[in-house]
Amino acid sequence: MDQLIFEKEIKINTRDALIIVDMQYDFTPGGSLPVEEGDLIIEDINQTANLFKKNKATVVLTQDWHSQNHLSFASNHPGKSPGDEFTSEDGAIGPVLWPDHCVQNTKGAEFHNDLKIDLADKVIQKGMNPNVDSYSGFRDNDKNSETGLRDYLNSKRIRRIFVCGLALDYCCYYTAMDGFEFDYRVYFLVDLTRGVNLPEGSIKNALENMNKTGIKFVNSKSFK
Ligand SMILES: [Zn+2]
């Protein structure tokens, strides 16, 4: 992989938004789809969110929000297990199936208790269509419907977005890539994310694709 180049000394301004992806119980250790060390980033995410608010920038939370019959769940495919490879024709589901997670109004779907949700200006829910997954905070995987995030950011005249949260190689990655396609300047907060690496290699692929695309990498300590 080409060396990732990190941006240094970023000054946050009012047209910046921090997008905190899916910091929910089910994605942290003890949840149904835990990302290793997913809880260890929360404190620094809180501090970063605080910094954004101090600089009058915007903070957005995304929340995976599925019905029990969601087709990304292996349990809704007879004979399949979580982690099995599966891609639906239109790419709406896949490339793997997941354990049941973030079912609406369950504890697993709640934001982690340590996350300072009062710092958020907006919560964007995604994945409500049972037939289509929504890794990206911007839109469904089949690209047919948006979540409202773009409209919200545009209403606040946001130019740069900074993506962090869980998981690096899925929801953070897709959010960053869509953000780039939607003409935002996208920064990926590498120290404020962790990945599932399923299938093997997906973290490396995600970082590589973002690097090639023109997404910039940044460390939370680089904010001035
Ligand atoms: Zn999900």
Per the model's pLDDT, the better-predicted residue between 200 and 224 turns out to be 200
pLDDT-derived band at 91 (thresholds 50, 70, 90) equals confident
Question: From ligand 1's centre to the CA of 139, what distance in Å?
Answer: 13
Q: Which two tokens stand for residue 224?
A: 């001035």
Question: From ligand 1's centre to the CA of 13, what distance in Å?
Answer: 32
Question: From ligand 1's centre to the CA of 126, what distance in Å?
Answer: 8
Which one from 126, 133, 164, 216 is the annotated catalytic residue?
Answer: 126
Which one from 16, 22, 39, 100 is the annotated catalytic residue?
Answer: 22
Kindly report, residue by residue over 13-66, the tens digit of the pLDDT.
999 999 999 999 999 999 999 999 999 999 999 999 999 999 999 999 999 999
172 is catalytic: no
pLDDT at 66: 98
Mean pLDDT of 88-93: 89
Which domains are delineated in the chain? 6-65+102-222 (3.40.50.850)
pLDDT-derived band at 224 (thresholds 50, 70, 90) equals confident
Question: From ligand 1's centre to the CA of 135, what distance in Å?
Answer: 7
Question: From ligand 1's centre to the CA of 64, what distance in Å?
Answer: 5
Mean pLDDT of 152-174: 98
Q: Distance from CA of residue 209 to its chain's centroid?
A: 16
pLDDT-derived band at 4 (thresholds 50, 70, 90) equals confident
pTM value > 0.85:
yes
3-class DSSP assignment, residue 224: coil
pLDDT exceeds 70 at position 163: yes
pLDDT at 89: 81
Mean pLDDT of 120-126: 98
Q: Which two tokens stand for residue 2?
A: 């080409």
204 is catalytic: no
Which one from 102, 164, 171, 172 is the annotated catalytic residue?
Answer: 171
Give residue for tokens 């929000």: 65
Question: From ligand 1's centre to the CA of 22, what distance in Å?
Answer: 9
26 is catalytic: no
Give Cβ neighbours of residue 130 (< 8 Å, ≥ 6 apart).
Answer: 66, 67, 69, 70, 71
pLDDT exceeds 80 at position 2: no
